[in-house]
Amino acid sequence: MILKMRIGKANIEKLSRASLVLATIAVALLAAGFSSGVYAADHIKGRELYDRNCSVCHGPTGQSVMPGAPNLARGEGMLKPDFTLLASIRAGRNAMPAYQGILSDRDIMDVIAYVRTLH
Ligand code: HEC
């Protein structure tokens, strides 16, 4: 009887330790979820950055004004995942200058979010 109680107690302790771990994971996931909201791309800031840095070639509305620059409003060059575009813009591509050191990755992601709203 005493032995049974001991085992029972040990199991309960194990269980409560496991639920503590689960609760910690749940809190961490929740915190990550909330903070990811803070890092969501800001297409309003993206617009300002686009006007200043990109519109000279890709046009103020995404209709390119430079021969060879894709028409972003028609989605040219945009059928790629954000991280591929980030890499292109960061490193530059042929006639397009590199933006590494000029725009942060966060800025570039904001610009990409804005460009995705152009039609
Ligand atoms: C000096 C002119 C110029 C400027 C400024 C410029 N681009 Fe470009 N961009 C180009 C040209 C030209 C290409 C086509 C490059 C190629 O593939 O040969 C291009 C390509 C692209 C592509 C397609 C990339 C790919 O992987 O196919 C995207 C997206 C893009 N530009 C976005 C931007 C954004 C956003 C900015 C501002 C941060 C910007 N560009 C600034 C000229 C420019």
Q: Are 68 and 95 in contact (CB under 8 A)?
A: yes
Clarify whether residues 83 and 99 are in a common domain. Answer: yes
Where does residue 64 fall: left (phi above 0), alpha (psi -120 to 50 degrees), or beta otherwise? beta
Does residue 47 lie within any of the structural domains?
yes
The answer, yes or no, to whether residue 24 has pLDDT greater than 80, is no
Residue 2 belongs to a domain? no
Res 14: pLDDT:
77
User: Is 3 among the domain residues?
Assistant: no
Res 107 pLDDT > 70:
yes
Q: Are 23 and 70 within one domain?
A: no
Hey, whose CA ends up nearest to atom 24 of ligand 1?
A: 77
Residue type, 79: L
Ligand 1 atom with the smallest distance to the CA of 87 is 26
Which of 56, 58, 105 for mutating ligand 1's site (highest number of atoms within 8 Å of CB)? 58
Domain extent, residue 83, equals 43-115
Q: What is the pLDDT of residue 11?
A: 73
Whose C-alpha lies nearest to ligand 1, atom 36? Answer: 54
Instruction: Write out pLDDT tens, residues 45-73.
Output: 999 999 999 999 999 999 999 999 999 99
Take atom 25 of ligand 1 and give the residue whose Cα is closest: 77
